[in-house]
């Protein structure tokens, strides 16, 4: 492991969260900005808008495939080298996307982007975890996590304006200056942590990668097909591969994700809680703009502005979360906060089709505040009690879990919406009612997911609190 001198330590601590925040913002913005731009890209490339889903699926699958290897690459080549290579790949992929002449070019460029994105955030977060003492880690992670809240909100808004007033090429070119800033800062301030013990579990990687791939494919297909049986087969195959990995990891001396990670209670609760809670939270940034455009007949730009206050209130949540956790602890904060988020999602079902769409603004604004608290709390408690030798593998698994949880949430929301949309008697031939019922189901599920955090002890996370 690279030794950081006392002279450089403070400078690294100041800049490293900014580097991670920049990479997270770039990745989260790119993940969402494409959604509002697909019709324009399809028209320019002479493709059907439905076929353009391949540009999204290829990126998601690449993330799922390569995220598990991020910890090993960091241990072998160092966090600095891997992070800079990831930034270069992501920036080059963005450039290639903007130069695409057909759908195949775009898909290949998105794969290059995906390789960079799969390494960028996990490796940056790993460097953060290894640099900061646990009592300072919450504050650093709290700063870096804000772009994860802002990106999905600004993505549709920025994408709508760029397509309307510039061209779709700019939704990719916007990544390049961020990538250059990240590279320049990383060359000077990114520490190059390595591990002396390197034994890569190639078989485990292939098994887990196959599981992630199958699960990701099933999630994408759930939202884009009417034939459920083949998708369920793919989903079950993914779970079977996970079981195969469990059998492999229980016998292997050094699996890519050791099973004893799950003996750490805070890690186990954080992983399960992240997965359960994001089933509801992740669908809202997709469902609400869809409802505003489809049911209310508003433009993509208007729907983007309705959701935009979520990013502003997330900043206030960032400034309040440390005080809240220090006062109430992780157990009480996560349980109550999850209940509040679920209740607010249910409140999105209250306004009728004759109500002004601006009634959604206060609800979504308050939701942004509590989402900020939720993500910071879940991410920090997950790594609270990990030992040094578990940091790389644990951090990689958290990243994979979050990616799959977001995908599950989006797919679940779309699936529930389709079920209600097909029941014309229940919704009285009014698509707005299908969205309302979907918000009630998703919100209720989120409320129930708060019970996962009962498994935490009231003193869990005390080692993350700053000394008085």
44-78 pLDDT per residue, tens: 877 765 566 667 767 877 887 788 788 778 888 88
pLDDT one-digit tens code per residue, 79-114: 889 999 999 999 999 999 888 888 888 889 988 998
How big, in percent rounded to 5, are the helix, strand and coil portions of the chain?
A: 80, 0, 20
pLDDT one-digit tens code per residue, 266-280: 888 888 888 889 888
Residue from 338, 330, 357, 321 nearest 432 by CA: 357
pLDDT of the residue at 468: 46
pLDDT at 122 over 80: yes
Mean pLDDT of 287-316: 79
The CA distance from 464 to 36, in Å, is: 39
Mean pLDDT of 373-377: 87
The CA distance from 438 to 308, in Å, is: 21
Say if residues 304 and 286 touch (Cβ distance below 8 Å): no
The CA distance from 426 to 436, in Å, is: 12
Between 449 and 42, where is the model more confident? 449
Say if residues 137 and 129 touch (Cβ distance below 8 Å): yes
Residue from 380, 282, 383, 375 nearest 71 by CA: 383
Q: Residue 70, Cβ neighbours under 10 Å: how many?
A: 28
pLDDT one-digit tens code per residue, 220-278: 676 555 566 787 888 889 889 989 988 888 887 778 788 888 888 888 888 888 888 98
pLDDT one-digit tens code per residue, 76-86: 888 889 999 99
Q: What is the 3-state secondary structure (H, E, C) of 142-153?
A: HHHHHHHHHHHH
**Which residues lie below 8 Å from residue 133, measured CB to CB, with a gap of 6+?**
none
Average pLDDT over all residues of the chain: 80
Mean pLDDT of 433-452: 91
Nearest-Å Rg of the Cα atoms of the chain is 21
């Amino acid at each position: 492991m690279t030794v950081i001198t006392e002279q450089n330590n403070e400078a690294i601590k100041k800049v490293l969260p900014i580097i991670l925040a920049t990479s997270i913002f770039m990745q989260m913005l790119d993940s969402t900005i494409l959604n509002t731009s697909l019709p324009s890209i399809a028209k320019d490339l002479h493709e059907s808008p439905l076929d353009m889903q391949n540009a999204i699926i290829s990126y998601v699958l690449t993330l799922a495939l390569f995220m598990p290897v991020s910890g090993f690459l960091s241990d072998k080549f160092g966090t600095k080298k891997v992070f800079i290579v990831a930034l270069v790949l992501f920036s080059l992929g963005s450039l290639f996307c903007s130069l695409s002449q057909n759908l195949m070019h775009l898909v290949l460029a998105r794969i290059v982007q995906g390789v960079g994105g799969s390494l960028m955030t996990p490796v940056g977060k790993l460097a953060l975890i290894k640099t900061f003492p646990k009592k300072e880690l919450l504050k650093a992670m709290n700063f870096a996590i804000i772009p994860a809240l802002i990106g999905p909100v600004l993505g549709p808004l920025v994408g709508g304006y760029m397509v309307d007033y510039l061209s779709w090429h700019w939704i990719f070119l916007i990544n390049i200056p961020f990538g250059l800033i990240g590279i320049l800062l990383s060359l000077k301030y990114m520490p190059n942590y390595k591990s002396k013990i390197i034994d890569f579990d190639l078989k485990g990687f292939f098994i887990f990668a196959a599981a992630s791939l199958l699960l990701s494919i099933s999630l994408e297909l759930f939202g884009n097909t009417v034939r459920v049986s083949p998708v369920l087969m793919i989903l079950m195959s993914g779970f079977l591969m996970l079981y195969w990995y469990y059998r492999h990891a229980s016998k292997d001396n050094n699996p890519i994700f050791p099973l004893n990670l799950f003996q750490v209670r805070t890690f186990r609760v954080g992983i399960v809680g992240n997965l359960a809670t994001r089933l509801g939270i992740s669908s809202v940034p997709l469902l609400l703009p869809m409802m505003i455009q489809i049911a209310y007949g508003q433009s993509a730009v208007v729907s983007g502005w309705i959701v935009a206050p979520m990013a502003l209130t997330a900043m206030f949540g960032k400034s309040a979360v440390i005080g809240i956790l220090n006062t109430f602890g992780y157990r009480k904060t996560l349980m109550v906060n999850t209940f509040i988020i679920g209740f607010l999602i249910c409140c999105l079902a209250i306004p009728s089709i004759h109500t002004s769409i601006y009634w959604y603004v206060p609800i979504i604004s308050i939701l942004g505040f509590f989402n900020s608290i939720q993500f910071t709390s879940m991410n920090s408690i997950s790594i609270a009690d990990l030992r040094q030798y578990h940091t790389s593998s644990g951090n990689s698994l958290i990243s994979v879990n979050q990616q799959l949880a977001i995908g599950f949430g989006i797919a679940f929301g779309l699936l529930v919406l389709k079920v209600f949309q097909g029941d014309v008697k229940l919704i009285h031939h009014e698509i707005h009612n299908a969205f309302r019922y979907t918000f009630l189901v998703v919100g209720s599920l989120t409320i129930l997911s708060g019970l996962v955090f009962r498994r935490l002890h009231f003193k869990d996370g005390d080692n993350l609190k700053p000394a008085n």
